[in-house]
Amino acid sequence: MRRWNFIAVLIAALIFLPLRVAAADLLLVSTTSTENSGLFSYLLPKFTAATGIKVHVVAVGTGQALKIGERGDADVLLVHDKPSELAFVAAGYGIDRRQVMYNDFVIVGPAADPAGVAKAASATAAFARIRAAKAPFISRGDESGTHKLEGRLWAALDLRPQSGGDGWYRSIGAGMGAALNMAAASDAYTLSDRGTWLSFQNRRNLTVLYDGDPALFNQYALILVNPARHPHVHVTEARRLMDWLISAEGQAAIASFKIGGQSLFIPNYGKETP
């Protein structure tokens, strides 16, 4: 019987003891690409050490991140889709947009490269080859920054591929990692940000087939959720985080985050796009 008393005490403790972790001072909503790369677990402890401010990160696609900001459920956003960011700020949902760092997108696919993407002269040409070969292509299909860039590349070709039909174009409505897992499992092409790609571990036959086109440039920007609209936003703490990330110290910290000797993000606050 003593054993059951012990179990009862254990259950009661689980229910009634408070959690050790206190609520955060700041909620940063960002993209899966940055979270999955491990950037935040590298950067934020440095920020917390410098300021004493604790930050919680929720990682979703850029489209959803902007929605969350619009509803006032975040303090700061770190996202990567300039047209929708500007629309977000213009609509009064956010203020103080600051470009903070960039990396680039890469087209990955099976090493055998049946569509000949590696020989393409530009990103749009690479997409045209995939379309011509009807080679399987995985689209995020989730209104993320990556998905929106992909849409712009197809639009440049006057194409708007639909999932279904002859089946080469597959819109999966999921994050970057899920898209890479699916591409790896089905020898398909996909568009990935370099950060997620470098930290991705289940590559199988996948390899980078095309990169380097300025059209694949991937700018990240910070936006403060408009406190005039949502008075509960932690403005002071949020500004400290934004200021720190664009400070010399923060920018150096971003540059020093590397996987396999390679920087994942290049700080560029106050500079023009390359």
Partner 1 sequence: MNDFSDAFATALDLMRSFDPAFIEIVALSLKVSVTAVFFAALLGLPLGALLALKKFPGRGIAVVFLNALMGLPPVVVGLVIYLMLSRAGPFGVFGLLYTPTAMIVAQTVLVLPIIAAIARQTIADLHTEYADQLKSLGAREGQMILTLLAEGRSSLLTALLAGFGRAIAEVGAVMVVGGNIDHYTRTMTTAIALETSKGNLSLAMALGMLLILLTIAVNAAAFGLRRRFSLLGGAS
19 or 248: CB nearest partner 1: 19
5 or 162: CB nearest partner 1: 5
- Find out whether 224 and 162 touch, Cβ atoms under 8 Å: no
Beta carbon of residue 57, minimum distance to partner 1 (angstroms, whole number): 6
Q: Summarize as ranges the residues that interact with partner 1 (CB under 8 A).
A: 4, 7, 11, 14-15, 19-21, 23-24, 27, 32, 36, 40-41, 56-59, 71-73, 174-178, 180-181, 184, 199-203, 230, 232
149 or 184: CB nearest partner 1: 184
Q: Which residues of 225-247 are buried (b: 16+ CB within 10 A; e: fewer)?
A: bbbeebeebbbebbebbbebbbe
Q: Which residue has the tokens 């489209």?
A: 63
Which of 177, 225, 199, 249 is CA-nearest to residue 28?
225
58 or 255: CB nearest partner 1: 58
Tokens matching residue 260: 């396999």
Beta carbon of residue 165, minimum distance to partner 1 (angstroms, whole number): 27
Beta carbon of residue 56, minimum distance to partner 1 (angstroms, whole number): 4
54 or 239: CB nearest partner 1: 54
Residue 214: other Cβ atoms inside 10 A: 10
Beta carbon of residue 270, minimum distance to partner 1 (angstroms, whole number): 30
For residue 166, report the phi and psi dihedrals to the nearest 5 degrees.
-80, -5
139 or 268: CB nearest partner 1: 139
Q: Give the relative orientation of helices 39-51 and 235-246 as an angle to the nearest 10 degrees.
A: 110
65 or 153: CB nearest partner 1: 65
Beta carbon of residue 89, minimum distance to partner 1 (angstroms, whole number): 19
Report residue 223 CA to chain centroid gap. 15
Beta carbon of residue 21, minimum distance to partner 1 (angstroms, whole number): 5
Q: Following DSSP, what letter does each residue of 36-81 receive, concatenated?
A: HHTHHHHHHHHHHHHH---EEEEEE-HHHHHHHHHTT--SEEEE--
Which of 104, 58, 105, 82 is CA-nearest to residue 223?
82
Beta carbon of residue 108, minimum distance to partner 1 (angstroms, whole number): 12
Name the region of 101 (left: φ>0; alpha: ψ -120 to 50; beta: rest): beta
